[in-house]
Structure 1
Amino acid sequence: MKINLLSIIMGFWFFSCPAQKYNELALRYNSPATMWEETLPLGNGRIGMMPDGGVDSELIVLNDISMWSGSEDPAAFNPTAFDHLAEIRKLLLSGKNLDAQNLMYAHFRSGGLGSAFGQGKDAPYGCFQMLGNMHIWYSYPPDVEKTIHYERKLSLNDAVASTTFTRGDITYSREYFASHSHDVLGTRITASRKKSVSFEVCLSRAERAAISVHDDVIFMEGQLNDGYDTNRGVRYLTKLQIVNKGGTLIASDSSLRVDDADEAVILISTATDMLDKNYESTVDDLLTKAKNILFDKLKVEHINTYKNKFDRVELDLGDQDNITPTNERLANFQSHDDPAFAALYFQFGRYLMISGTNENSLPLNLQGLWANQVQTPWNGDYHLNINLQMNYWPAAVCNLSELHKPLVDFTKSLVPSGEITARKFYNADGWVAHMMTNPWKFTAPGEHASWGATNTGGAWLCSHLWEHYNFTQDKVYLRSIYPVLTGAADFFLHSMIAEPEHGWLVTAPSSSPENAFYLPGDSLPVFVCMGPTMDVQIINELFSNILLAAEILDIEDGHTAKIRKALTKLPPMQISKEGYLQEWLQDYREVEPHHRHVSHLYGLYPSNQISPEITPALAAAARETLNRRGDDGTGWSRAWKINFWSRLHDGNRAYKLLKSLLEPTVDSEVKMRSGGGTYNNLFCAHPPFQIDGNFGGTSGIAEMLIQSQNGYIELLPALPDSWVDGSFKGLCARGGAEVTIKWADKKIKWIILKASTSNTFRLKIPEYVRDIKQNDKDLDVGNGFVELEMDKGEEAKLEITFI
C-alpha cells in the first residue's frame, strides 16, 4: 500500500504541475523588440520566423535551414598541398615550427577561396542566409495613439509566440507559430471588437528575390549564388496567403491589404531545392492543406506534435516568476539567486533544439536555424573544432536522442569527400574532416593554418555517433556506423608519425584549435605543431570506442589489431611542473593564457578520460588548468566551462559559470574578444549571436543533475548550494535509462528509473543514504552502488531513507 500511495503522489505531482500557472515556461517582455537579438525564435526544424512584436509596424524575419549559397568546390582539394607535406613534417620533427607554419600558410591549405575568411556568401563555400522579411503595417482607429497593457511572450510549453496590447478600448492580439504538424508558418491577428483588423503585408529580401502577387498570393522566389555565377545555386520559393474572416482583401503588385476584418490569418509556405527537388509542389501542397484547416485546429495539432518531444523532460527548481519580464530576470540573475530562471534557460535550450532541427533536416548550424542577414557571421556554417558538436551535447541526456539523426546522417555524408581530402593532402587511407564544413561536404583544411589545420574534426563527430549508441544501445545502428568509425581511424593509422623524443604516434601537422604558443626564445606566435593534447584525446577515444564496438558486434580482424597496437603508442596526457595539463607535447608558453578554447580538456568533457574518481591526478591538473584559464571568455566558452566544473563535481563553480554565461549583452555589434554573455531573448552572445552557447549551457545544467560517463549513473553530482529543493523528470543516462528524482535539502528523496532498453543499471548511492528500498524490500548497496537488472519498459521506484 505504501508504494502505491507514493506512486499516486508522484504521478499527481508530475502531471499536474505543467498545467498550473506558476509553472508556465515562458519568455515575456513588456515592449517590442528594438533589435533582432530581442525577437522571439520560432521553428519546426526546417523553417522558422522571428517576430519583433511592433505595434504600428512589425518586422518578422523568415528562415529556412537549407537557404545556403555555394556549391561543391573541387578546387578545395589543393593538388599541390601534398608536395610540401614531407618538408613540413621534417621541420616539425626538428623543432622548426615557425618555418613549418610559414610553409603551411603558403601551400598546405585548401585550394580556391576556402571559406573566404567567413565572407563566403558569393564564394563556392557559400553561406547560410536568411530567407527574407515579412513586413506588416497596421492601421488603427484615428485619434488613438497610446498603447497600454503591452505583452510579448514566447510559450516554451506550446511553441507559440504572442503579442497583445490595448489601444483605445480595443485589445489586439497576435499569435505566431512554425507548425510542427503542417510545416507552415502561421500568424493570426485578432481584435476584441469586430471589423478592427486592418493591415498591409509584403515580403522582401536584400538580394536575389523576385516579388510578385498572383491570385491574392504573394510570391517570393529566386536562386542563390553557387559561387561560380552559374544557374546551379539553390532555388527557393515562398508563398504568402491570407485567410480573412470578414473585411476585404486587396492585392497590389507586391503586397496584400486587409481592411476591417474580424480576424486574419497569414500563412507562409516555403522550401528550397537543396533537400527537396519537388520544392515548388511541396510549397503548393502545404499551403493548400493549411488554408483549409481552421487556425485553432492548426494550432492544437502543432502544439500536440511539439509537446511529444518537449514534455518528456521537466525541471522544477522553484515556482516560475511569470510577472517579471525576462530581460529583467536576466539582469537580476547576476545579483540574486533565481533557480527557476536557470530551469527556464535549460528548457529554452531544449526548445531551441526541438525548434531548430528535426529528423529529416540539416544539422543545427552556428546560428541553429535563425539568421537575419544574407552574409551570416562566419558563414553560419559548421565549425568542427567544437561548435557543431556543442550544439548536440544536450540531445541524448535531454531525451531528444532522435534529433541526433541529422548529425549522424551528415557525418556519414562527409565520408566520400573526406576520403578525397585524406588522399590528396596526406596520401592516406580513410577519411578526414578538418576545422569547418558545410552542406557541400567541405573537408579540406581551412585557408589559413592558424585555425584551419586541425584535422580531428571528423573524428570528433564520430564521438557523437558512438554517444548515440551509448544512450540507445541500438546494435543495428552501431553496425551501420562501424565503417564510418573505422574509416576515420584508418586516416590516423596511415597519417600519424613518430615524434623523435619518445616515439609516440602523433598527428603532424596540426594545431590546438585557434590557440598559439611561443617557441623558446622566440616572440612570434606559432599555431602549427605535432600531437596537441586534444588530438591525442580524440584519437584515443575513437580507437577505444571502435574496440568496444568491435567487441559488441563480435568483430576481431587485422583492423582491430592495428588499432589496439596503435592505442598503446599514443602520447599520455602530461602534467606540467606548475600542475596544469599541458596543451601541447612540449610545455610551451601560451600567447593568450586566458584563451577562449580549452581544447586540451576535451578528455574531461565531453570525453570521459579525466575523472575525479578514476584519474584524480589528471582531474587535479584539469582544475588547475581551468583556474589558470579563468572564467571569462566568449559565450560558448563559458558554457563549456560549466560542463568542465560539473564533471569535477564543483556545483558552485559551475553555477558561477552559468551566471557568467547569462551576463546580459545588449549590443549586437560587440566584438568577439570582448567576451560573451546572453541577449535579452536568451540567445547566446558569442558575440555576435552563436547558438552553441545555449546548447552548451543546457548540457551543463544537465551535467549538474545527472552523469553516467563512468559506467554508472550518478545523481546530483554537481548540485549548487542554491538549488536546495527540486526535481527533474525524464533525463537520460547512458545504457538506456530515463531517470526521475525529487530532492529536498540537497538530498534525494526518491528515484524512478525506467529502462528504455533491457540492461543492468549501476546506480551510485550518496553517502547520506541509510537504506534504499524497492517495493518495500531493502536493496543491497555494495561499495556504494546498487545494481538493477531491468527489462525494456520496466520501471523501478526507489525510496531513500537518510542517515
Structure 2
Amino acid sequence: MIQNKFIISYFVIFLGLAHSTAQNKTSSNAIPASDRQQQIDQYWADRAAVQSHQTIPFAPLTLTYIRPASVWEEALPLGNGQIGAMVFGGVADERIQFNESTLWAGNTQNPNNPKGKTALPIIQNLIFEGKNKEAIELADSTLMGKPMHIKPYQSLGELWLDMPHLHVENYKRSLDLKTAVQQTSYQHKGVNYSRQYFISAPANTMVIHYTASKKKSLDLNFTWKRAQDFSCISDPKDPSQLILQGQIGQAETKQEKGLRFAAIAKVYLKGGQFSNKNGKIMITDADEITILVTAATNYPGLKHISYPAQQSNIDPLSTCRNTLKPFKNVDYPLLKRQHIQDYQHYFNRVNLSLDDPDQPNRSGISTDALISLTKEHQKIPSELITKFFQFGRYLLISSSRPGHMPANLQGMWAWQMDPPWNADFHTNINLQMNYWPAELANLSELHQPLFDLTTALIPFGERTAHTLYGAKGWVVHHLTDAWGYTAPADGVQGIWPMGSAWLAQHPWEHYTFTGDRQFLKEKAYPIMKGAANFIMDFMVKIPKNKPFANYWITNPSHSPENSFKLPNGEISSFTYGVTMDSQIIRDLLINCIEASTVLQVDETFRQQCQETLQKLIPTQISAKTGRIMEWIEDYEETEVNHRHTSHLFGLHPGSQISIANTPDLAEAAKKTLLSRGDHGTGWSLAWKINMWNRLHDGEHSYQLLYNLISDKTLPNLFDNHPPFQIDGNFGATAAIAEMLLQSQVRDKNNNYLIELLPALSKNMPSGSIEGLKARGGITVNIHWNNGSLQKAQLLPNRTGPLCISYAGKQIEIMGTQGKAVIITPQLFQNNN
C-alpha cells in the first residue's frame, strides 16, 4: 500500500513507497509513478561504480549476478525458519533486510459476529430463492468478522553497512543452493574483497564474514534502521553489540501496542579496532570482520495463543543475548561447517540433473541473463529448470523449520510494515500450495509447521463454527494469521468456510507418504475429524424444487474469488453447492473413512461419513461446453480466464479425476484448462502446470512452465504474482517433480500407482532425478535418455506389493522393506 503520509528521507521512501504496485490498495496522496521510481532507484543505487569483467563459471546450483541488487526483488534470500534476510550485495552501500517469522501485528481476538447463527437460515433461503443480492447484503452485516481485516506480518528492520569503496572491478555476487551461503566478491585498488553470509539454524544467527587479501584493508560502519516503532542503541552491557529494539504500535498513541521485538548485531575482529557510539559501530584497519546477528520477539508460540490473550513474559532482548552468550569468541569455519551440515541434511536428499545436448554451454551467463535467454529462445535452459526446482526446495528449507512458523504468502521475506495481502496465510489455495513439494520433494519434516498452525486454529475455529453456523467441529475461512483468526474477512468473498477441510488434506498426505501411524492418531486424525464434523453439520439439503433435491450441499458457497451471471443478468459470486466444495468434502470424507479404518476407531462417525458421501453432488460436465461445471448450475462465466481453477480441485491436489479411473472427467478437465488459457498469475500458472501433469500432457506442462519462468519470475527467481508471492515457487517445484513421478492414483487393489515419467516433455529429453518420494513410503530414483526410461530404483520403507506404471503399462512387484527394486522398460514389455 502507498502510505498516506510521507516523510522525505531515503529510508521512508524505501519502506513506504518502493514497489507500490505490489500493493492491493491505493492512496490519493500517491507520488507520480515516474518520480516515485526515480526516488526508489536513487535510494537503492550503490554509490560504488561497479565493473564486472569476471568470468562466471558454470554452476548449475548457484544463482550468480554481475551487479548489486537495485531493488528488493533482486536481493538474495537467506533463512533458517526463524530469521530471514535479503542481501543486496552492495559495495559501498550494503543493505541487509531482516525478518523474524513471528513478528505479526495484532493479537488474539473474538471477531465472530453473534448475529450469524440467527441470520444463516435466512441467508440460505434467499440463495435458494435466487435472491443473491439480498443474501449478500444480509451476509455482509451478519457473518463478516469484527474487525473484518487482520493485521500484517512486518519487516524486522535493516542493517545498513557502509564501506569507502567507490570504484571496484570483477564484481560478482552469488547464492550457492548446495550450501545456502551467499557471497559477494570484488577488487578495489588491487585488493580482493570477499563477503560471505548465511543464517545458521544450529546457532540461530546470521553470520556475516568480511575478508580482504591485504591486512588492515577493512573499514566498515553500520547501524540498524526501521520505518517505525524502533530505537537503535549501543549495548551498555557489551561494547561489541548494537541493539535494535521496539514494539509494534509504540509510536501511535491510539494504536493497540503489539509484540515487542529485538535484534543484536555483535562484532568480532581480527586486527583493527572499533568504536560503538550513539547507535553506530565504526570499524577501521581490520584484517577480518565477523558479525553475528540474531533476533526475537515476545510472540508466545502457536501452542500458546489463546483468547483472551495471555500476557507474554518473554523478553526479546534477553532471548537475543542468551543466543549470543555462548559465542565469547567466534570460530567462523566451525560455524560455517555446522550450518552447511544442518542445511545439507535436507537439501542433499534430492538431486535433479538434466542433459540437453542441443543447448550451448551456459558458462559466463548470470541467472537473470538466463531468464532473458528463456524469452529470447522460447525455451528454458536445462540449467535454469534445475536451479528453479532446487531453489523452491531451498526456500522451503529456509522458511519452514520444525518448531517455527509455517511459510506465509511471502515465505518469511517481506520488507514492508504493511506487505501485500498482509503476507498472511491465505487458505483458499496459497498456503496449501506452499506445502505441495514437502512430501514429494523429500522434505517431510518441513511440513510440520503447517500442522502446528492447523492444530492451533482448532479452538478458534470451533468458536467460529458455533457462533456463526451453530455447528460442531472447527472452521477457518479464506485467510488466517499468527493469532488464530478464523472468521470471514476482507469482504463477502471471505465467506468461504472450506479452509479447514482443505487444510485437513495435508496431514493425511503426510501419512500416505510416511506411513506414520502415531502421527495419524495423535495429529492428523483430530484435525480431519474436527473439519469433517463441521462440514457435515454445516451442510443443508437442497430443496425439492431444485436439481439434486435432498442432496447435501454447502450454503452459502462460492468458487474462490470468481463470479458468474444469473439468468436475470445480475453478476454474483454467492450461491450454493459449488463444485470445489463438493470435491474438497468428498476428499475429506474419503480420507476420514480410511483413517478411522486404519486406526480402528469411531465406527459411528465413519458410517456418517459414508452416508454423507452417497448424497454429495457428483462433479458435473456442462452439456453446453463439455467442461467441468464450476457451479451447481451451468451459469455463464464473467471471466473465462480467471486465475483460480477451483473446480479442478478433484484433479489436483485431489485425485478424484484421473485418466485411469475417470476418463470422461479427465477430458472435461482438459477442456476446462484450455478454456482458462495458458497465462495467469505466477501461482495460477504453477497450479495449472500441476493439473496438466495429472493429464499426462508433458508438452502443455512445459509450455506453462516456460510462461511462468519467462514472464512471472523475478531476477532472484522469486515468483511474481505480481507482486512477489512465494506460492508460485513452491507450486512449480512440485510440478517439476510430478512431471517425473506421480503416485496419487489407486490401482484396482487400492494400492498407490507409482507412475514413472508421466508428463515428461520432449524438451527435457535426458536426465535423472534421485530421492523423490512416492506415497506408500517409497524413495524413487529415475534415469531416462532420449525421452525414454532407462531404469528406476524403488526403495520401500515397508514390505508389500508395488504397483508401477510406465508409458500406459503396469506391473506389480513385491517390495521388501529396505531392499532396492530395479525397474527397467523390459519389465513392462514382458508383463503385457
Quick check: TM above 0.5?
yes
Match of 2:428 among 376, 381, 385: 385
The answer to which of 96-105 and 706-715 deviates more is: 96-105
Q: Does 1:553 align with 2:578?
A: no
Report the alpha carbon displacement of residue 727 of structure 1 after superposing the two structures with TM: 0.2
Q: Does 1:529 align with 2:575?
A: yes
Matching residue of 1:784: 810
1:630-669 aligned within 5 A: 630-664=677-711
1:122-133 aligned within 5 A: 125-133=150-158
Match of 1:520 among 562, 567, 574: 567
CA distance in 1, matches of 2:539, 2:813: 42
Give the share of equivalent positions with the same residue, in percent: 40
The residue matched to 2:209 in structure 1 has which SS?
strand
Match of 2:753 among 705, 712, 737: 712
Matching residue of 2:215: 194
The residue matched to 2:640 in structure 1 has which SS?
coil
Report the alpha carbon displacement of residue 285 of structure 1 after superposing the two structures with TM: 2.4
Report the alpha carbon displacement of residue 157 of structure 1 after superposing the two structures with TM: 0.3
The residue matched to 1:544 in structure 2 has which SS?
helix
| AA matched with 1:598 | T
1:649-798 aligned within 5 A: 649-664=696-711, 677-710=712-745, 711-766=752-807, 784-791=810-817, 793-798=818-823
CA distance in 1, matches of 2:587, 2:777: 21
Report the alpha carbon displacement of residue 651 of structure 1 after superposing the two structures with TM: 0.4
Matching residue of 1:208: 229
1:51-66 aligned within 5 A: 51-66=87-102
**Cα deviation code 1:126-183 (max 9, x no counterpart):** 211111001011024xxxx432211010000000001011122111110000112211
**Cα deviation code 1:267-326 (max 9, x no counterpart):** 111111114635433311221224523111111110111001000000001388452100
| AA matched with 1:609 | Q
Match of 1:79 among 98, 114, 117: 114
CA distance in 2, matches of 1:67, 1:178: 18
Matching residue of 2:246: 222
The residue matched to 1:176 in structure 2 has which SS?
strand
Match of 1:482 among 521, 525, 546: 525
CA distance in 2, matches of 1:600, 1:471: 25
Report the alpha carbon displacement of residue 786 of structure 1 after superposing the two structures with TM: 2.4
Decide whether the 8 Å contact of 2:80 with 2:401 is kept in 1: yes
Task: Report the CA distance shift for 1:720/1:588 in structure 2 as closer, same or farther (over 3 A).
Answer: same
Q: Which runs of 5+ in 2 are unaligned?
A: 1-56, 302-313, 746-751
CA distance in 2, matches of 1:596, 1:231: 37
Decide whether the 8 Å contact of 1:453 with 1:509 is kept in 2: yes
Decide whether the 8 Å contact of 1:650 with 1:718 is kept in 2: yes
The answer to which of 696-705 and 79-88 deviates more is: 79-88
Structural RMSD (CA): 1.7
1:150-299 aligned within 5 A: 150-214=171-235, 215-225=239-249, 233-275=258-300, 277=314, 279-290=316-327, 292-299=329-336
Q: Does 1:106 align with 2:141?
A: yes
Task: Report the CA distance shift for 1:589/1:228 in structure 2 as closer, same or farther (over 3 A).
Answer: farther
Decide whether the 8 Å contact of 2:529 with 2:592 is kept in 1: yes
CA distance in 1, matches of 2:92, 2:494: 47
CA distance in 2, matches of 1:437, 1:443: 6
| AA matched with 1:312 | R
Report the alpha carbon displacement of residue 25 of structure 1 after superposing the two structures with TM: 0.5
1:293-442 aligned within 5 A: 293-318=330-355, 321-334=362-375, 335-442=378-485
Decide whether the 8 Å contact of 2:263 with 2:320 is kept in 1: yes
CA distance in 1, matches of 2:400, 2:143: 35
CA distance in 1, matches of 2:581, 2:568: 26
Matching residue of 2:32: none
Matching residue of 2:670: 623
Task: Report the CA distance shift for 1:758/1:183 in structure 2 as closer, same or farther (over 3 A).
Answer: farther
| AA matched with 1:190 | T
How many residue pairs end up in the alignment? Answer: 738
CA distance in 2, matches of 1:230, 1:515: 35
Report the alpha carbon displacement of residue 230 of structure 1 after superposing the two structures with TM: 7.2
**Cα deviation code 1:519-546 (max 9, x no counterpart):** 0121x32111101111100000000000
Q: Does 1:35 align with 2:77?
A: no
The answer to which of 60-69 and 478-487 deviates more is: 478-487
Decide whether the 8 Å contact of 1:575 with 1:621 is kept in 2: yes
| AA matched with 1:332 | L
The residue matched to 1:101 in structure 2 has which SS?
helix
Question: Stretches of 4+ moved more than 6 A in 1?
Answer: none
**Cα deviation code 1:690-730 (max 9, x no counterpart):** 10000011011011010000121001100011111100100
Decide whether the 8 Å contact of 2:799 with 2:814 is kept in 1: no
Q: Which runs of 5+ in 1 are unaligned?
A: 1-20, 116-124, 665-676, 768-782
Matching residue of 1:509: 556
The residue matched to 2:621 in structure 1 has which SS?
coil
Report the alpha carbon displacement of residue 758 of structure 1 after superposing the two structures with TM: 4.0
**Cα deviation code 1:558-601 (max 9, x no counterpart):** 21111110110010111002100000000111211111001000
Task: Report the CA distance shift for 1:252/1:280 in structure 2 as closer, same or farther (over 3 A).
Answer: closer
Q: Does 1:462 align with 2:510?
A: no
The answer to which of 625-634 and 393-402 deviates more is: 625-634
Decide whether the 8 Å contact of 1:47 with 1:64 is kept in 2: yes
Matching residue of 1:48: 84
CA distance in 2, matches of 1:721, 1:168: 50
Report the alpha carbon displacement of residue 785 of structure 1 after superposing the two structures with TM: 1.4
1:555-574 aligned within 5 A: 555-574=601-620
| AA matched with 2:348 | D
CA distance in 2, matches of 1:303, 1:626: 42
CA distance in 1, matches of 2:299, 2:476: 22
CA distance in 2, matches of 1:680, 1:176: 19
